[in-house]
Chains A and B, each alone.
Chain A
Amino acid sequence: MNFDLSEDQVLLAEMVGRMLGDHAANDRRDPGAEWRDCLGQGLIALPFAEDQGGLGGGHEEVMLMMEAIGRNLSQTPYLQSVLLAGRVLALAGRMELGDLLDGAQRHCLCLYEPGQRYRWATPATRAERCAEGWSITGAKVSVPDLDDTCALIVPAATAEGLVLFLLPPGISGVTLDIRPAPDGRTAANVNFASVIVPVDAAIGDPAGNEALLAEALDGAVLASCAESIGAMERLLDLTVEYCNIREQFGAVIGSFQALQHRAADMLIAIERARSITIYAASMMDAPAARRSVAVSAARALVNRSSRFVGQQAIQLHGGIGLASECAAGAYFQRLTVLETLLGDTEHHVAAVERSGGLLAA
């Protein structure tokens, strides 16, 4: 066993940290510019196999990237368009991956549906065969980072099983309701009213699509854990800095034991999150069922840590923690978004329970 980063990994972390740090220092953030920089530095290509035009990076490299995204509250849609939609295209062996890698097109995966929480595998969205190909009707919710230039990947139930449809931007019958998410990014509800697509819009093999989506999703959930860890670490730093400056009762509040122990608990929560995430990373090559349980265990514990660290950071800041001008709030908001984004605590703990627990793992 060895938990040290390789030299290349250290260099990657430094490069990404510097790049996203520069964007974070800019008063007027430009997510588009961050995305273009990621393209320019090869980060979009990072997680894909070399024979698909990628750089062959693994989960560890992706986690370094995601930690930096969390630490700098980057708004680049890496999780959505590279690790979810991009990964689906790669796993399905689709040529459209090339459009992502050369910056011509961004894709978004539409997973969840109204009132169904995280049950993506049994969508109410349906597609029927028709003369032109397929006709899709249904609705998806909370698609992160979606705008009207994005292509969509839409899982739908068909008579043949679960089919993933690739929809070009602006296609007739699709309506987007784009809303601000609490962390300054956006999430969209999408409606599909008899959307007609050609036969070759169907990605993958219906018999294998659930497994394909699960694999992409597990990778993205693991990456999201790393983003949460980056955000939590920075938030704890900010909180400690504040507690060492703010004076009340004639002393810095960081000298009060009640607050010290709260901060220590935050540190413990973060280390737990880091350890369970390393565990999940170590299980990414395991059989699918064990991989998914490990990822769920990680996201469950990271969620629990995130909620504690986020809430306590605001508490330790006091009144200023409620003000948007204070950086702590933005981290709390990001952590909360990540808590619900790809399965909340209830969802992931229940998944671990259904699997019979972790003792056999």
Chain B
Amino acid sequence: MELQFNEGERAFREEVRAFLLDNIPERIRQAVYEERPLPRDWMIEAQQILNSAGYAVPHWPIEWGGRVWSPVKRAILAQEIDRNSVPKPLPFNVTLIGPIIAAFGTEDQKQRFLPGIANLDIWFCQGFSEPNAGSDLASLKMSAIREGDHYRVNGRKIWTTYAHEADWIFCLVRTSREERKQQGISFLLIDLETPGVEVSPIQSIDGFHHLNEVQFDDAIVPAENLVGEEGKGWDYARYLLGQERTSMGNVGFSRRRLERSRALAGEAAGERSETLLGDADFLRRQTWAEIRLKALEITQMRVVASAPVQGADPKTSILKTEGGELLQEAADLLLDTMGPEALTAGFPAGIGPEEFYGIDERSGILSAYFSSRKYSIFGGSNEIQRNILAGSVLRLGRKR
């Protein structure tokens, strides 16, 4: 065992940190620190700076911009991006559709899309969930019927984050009816400018608009936009689950939130002592969260440093649930530092991010609190993760 970062890993961390602090504009880092949503052009600006240094897609194949960095180094990069309040490279682009096209796309698709995906010249959103296919994703109904050299597409996708900012959407669609619902699903890229595609906003409880519903009415999509083989879409989506796990635990993000809750609690008046941080109950919650963060940081590195496991790796589900729960706990603590000022620090009543400024730097906290409920819901809810742990890992309820 080698339980500390080695010299090369420590040097890499310093190099990354210096680059981020020198190159990402302060206004962007400040907005991320305060958890204010970023205007579209700021997100593009940040990702292009990262991409220029090879920091946007280091996990991709080398010919498409990947680096020969160890998983440990990639995890260090992800942590430094989060800890230093730098916007993450758009996950829909760099951890979802990019690797899928790189692994299963045609040469034409790779050339057409991958450079733009890495540089956020092309913005992708994710069309997986449907109104009646959430946790039971394989029951999705959106149909794509092959007609000569195109598909006729009908159906609805929902909870599509940033569909209103995006240029393209990647969708799981049903191309045939088969015995098993996981069969007959294909992976299709659709230009959001296509006639018959309509994006409508969903206002969310955090006060912002980032979620959408996307309706497809007889949209005509070129057959060349099919990724891989028809009917293999479910396998490709599953392929993603075991992929980039270096940032799955969100440990840098949780650390940033917990540093902030400790600092804010040290300034707020306490109920039983000078400061809130001096109150036994608050301090205990803060301390437990810090202990859990330390455990999570190690779990993250254990996942990163271990060879990928074929089939269900318990640590992936654990990383996802633990990481999400800790972000939620940190958001709870942040909210609890605010007292009555939570109501007036600033809540965006249905306006766009570029118009949102609260009255002080704590304005993003309330939104972040509401928004953080998503961490135990998206990408396979925590209940689904526990099903996986119980079924595939512990093999409960299965005959030996």
Using CB atoms and an 8 Å cutoff, list the residues of chain A in contact with chain B: 1-6, 9, 60, 236, 240, 243-244, 251-252, 254-257, 259-261, 263-265, 267-268, 271-273, 275-276, 278-279, 281-282, 297, 300-301, 349, 352-353, 357-359, 361
Contacts and interface: CB of A to CB of B under 8 A. Distances in A.
Contact of A60 (B1, B259, B293, B315): B1
B396 A255 contact: yes
Given A1-B6, A1-B301, A271-B318, A349 B292 contact: no
A234 B185 CA distance: 41
Top 3 A-B pairs, shortest CB-CB distance: A255-B397, A282-B3, A260-B390
B178 to A, nearest CB: 27
Contacts of A5: 1
Contacts of B299: 271-272, 275
Chain B: interface size category: 35 or more
A206 to B, nearest CB: 33
Contact of A275 (B6, B284, B296): B296
Contacts of A297: 291, 294
Contacts of A255: 396-397
Contact of B302 (A254, A268, A278): A278
A1 B322 CA distance: 22
B1 A3 contact: yes
Contacts of B391: 260
A3 B294 CA distance: 16
A2 B70 CA distance: 12
A352 to B, nearest CB: 5
B2 A260 contact: no
B292 A301 contact: yes
Contacts of B6: 1
A278 B1 CA distance: 10
Contacts of B9: 1
Contacts of A6: 1
Given A240-B396, A300-B291, 15 more contacts: A1-B304, A6-B1, A9-B1, A244-B397, A255-B397, A256-B397, A260-B390, A263-B394, A264-B394, A268-B322, A271-B314, A272-B292, A276-B291, A357-B290, A359-B255
A272 B390 contact: no
Given A1-B9, A1-B305, A352-B287, A263 B396 contact: yes
A343 B25 CA distance: 48
A174 to B, nearest CB: 40
8 contacts: A1-B301, A5-B1, A251-B397, A276-B294, A278-B302, A282-B4, A297-B291, A358-B294
A276 to B, nearest CB: 4
A3 B318 CA distance: 18
Nearest to A285: B4
B376 to A, nearest CB: 13
